[in-house]
Amino acid sequence: MSSAEGFVERLVTPAIGEEIFALAAEIFPICRSITGDGVRRTLAHLRRHAALEVREVASGASVFDWTVPDEWNLHEAYIADAQGRRVIDARVCNLHVMSYSEPVRTRLPLAELKRHVHSLPDQPTLVPYRTSYYQRGWAFCMAHEQLAALPEGEYEAVIDATLAPGRLTWGELLIPGREPDEVLLSTHICHPSLANDNCSGLALLTHLARRLATAKPRLSYRILMAPGTIGAIAWLAQAGPGVQRIKHGLVLSCVGDGGGPAYKRSRRGNALVDRAMAHVLGKGWPDPVLLDFSPYGYDERQFCSPGFDLPVGMFQRGQFGKFPEYHTSADNLAFIAPEHLEASYRTIVSALDVLERDRRLVSTNPFCEPQLGRRGLYAGIGGDKNAPSLNMAMLWTLNLADGAHSLLDMAERSGHPFGEIAAAAERLERAGLLVPAA
């Protein structure tokens, strides 16, 4: 009884969770930062699945209030003891070096070294993730219990990195639909080996883009994978007035863990994407979290800045900053799972389905109910255990088909899932009882 046109049926494939997980695992080891080869290499992996364009802007370029920073590339980083044994090595775990550390090669006593080491006394077995993009310096990150156990003595600290004019890189893909209105789907590409934040988002969005590209959607979809903050700002700076084609948007953050899900509304608070996500979460999850917009989080901060005020919300599972694995070495491949990735994917696709299919219809028989029985509209679903619900969905759709209510309005008012209302509307349209509103 479900609609042949539904996105869920067309875009959710049986092994989708496994496929997303495999791609996340593939890009997990790469050392990414907000610039550098790590981003380029990651995009090369993703381009095997979706035709992302690689776009760049030079260091020093002005992007609104900001300047594109120098490009950072890490070749090697380690701490070695007096015997030359490597205590930590970025080859083992790229979190060990603070992102954007300046090059250094020095010998120094333990006490002095400790001033350049970040650790987590409350999570003593985990390596923290630290960055210093806009303040020069160098530092290492290591497990607190390892740091505490280091014997006194002299150590060698080596960060072989380049921090010099270069380029900032992002991936972008426009999937044209039948209409020019765009849906922006964005995730950041700047974190090193963190699985949930945000290999999960990159992998999910790549597989979604791949399927959208062949789905002949009504709306156009703009896929964006840009480094956090500066990348989104650089993209917006070059996007020009075309940004106004964005009619709906979602930022994807941590989508592979078993938490939440949580949806953070756009600054507007009641945009169609906000209502679609609230509806889909309310129907599909036992205890979803709906958060009002706040100007802190991922790149929805930029898309929702007052000059743009784009209708862009943010979807995540566990809320960033709130799960203990966040920004530590515990955010690894064991922390994400195919079933969570699939559930996130399915939820996003369900919301896109609302955006795709929401529309206004008018009844061709607005005076009294039309007689459904003689058209076989009751009988045709007699053997279906969902028949009472589908019958009610038809009655609701006919009753509210006054041109003022969209299908999502009907779903919200009636309590029926959007998919049931949309299926009822298509059935009634085929029977000539509904026509598109003028």
Binding region for a copy of itself (CB under 8 A): 63-66, 134-135, 229, 232-233, 236-237, 267, 292, 294-296, 301-302, 304-309, 363, 365-371, 373-374, 392, 395-396, 398-402, 413-414
Decide whether 33 or 344 has the Cβ nearer to a copy of itself. Answer: 33
Q: Where are the alpha helices (DSSP H) in 223-337?
A: 230-239, 272-284, 300-303
Distances (CA, A) of 93 to 31, 150, 151, 322, 334: 9, 19, 22, 23, 15
Q: How many helical (H) and strand (E) elements, i.e. helices and strands, does the chain have?
A: 13, 19
Decide whether 223 or 233 has the Cβ nearer to a copy of itself. Answer: 233
Distances (CA, A) of 316 to 9, 131, 142, 262, 341: 23, 22, 28, 5, 11
Q: Which residue has 């380049």 as its token pair? A: 162
Q: CB of residue 377 vs a copy of itself: minimum separation in angstroms?
A: 12
Q: CB of residue 297 vs a copy of itself: minimum separation in angstroms?
A: 10
Q: Is 14 helix (H, G, I), strand (E, B) or coil?
A: coil
Decide whether 80 or 362 has the Cβ nearer to a copy of itself. Answer: 362
Q: CB of residue 28 vs a copy of itself: minimum separation in angstroms?
A: 30
Decide whether 84 or 373 has the Cβ nearer to a copy of itself. Answer: 373
Q: What is the DSSP letter of 266?
A: -
Backbone angles phi, psi at 80, to 5 degrees: -125, 150
Q: Does residue 261 have a cis bond before it (omega within 30 degrees)?
A: yes
Decide whether 157 or 304 has the Cβ nearer to a copy of itself. Answer: 304
Decide whether 101 or 363 has the Cβ nearer to a copy of itself. Answer: 363
> Which residues in 53-66 are b (16+ Cβ under 10 Å) and which e?
eebebebeeebeee
Q: CB of residue 321 vs a copy of itself: minimum separation in angstroms?
A: 11
Q: What is the DSSP letter of 99?
A: B
Q: CB of residue 330 vs a copy of itself: minimum separation in angstroms?
A: 23
Do the Cβ atoms of 41 and 30 come closer than 8 Å? yes
Decide whether 85 or 374 has the Cβ nearer to a copy of itself. Answer: 374
Q: CB of residue 410 vs a copy of itself: minimum separation in angstroms?
A: 11
Q: CB of residue 303 vs a copy of itself: minimum separation in angstroms?
A: 9
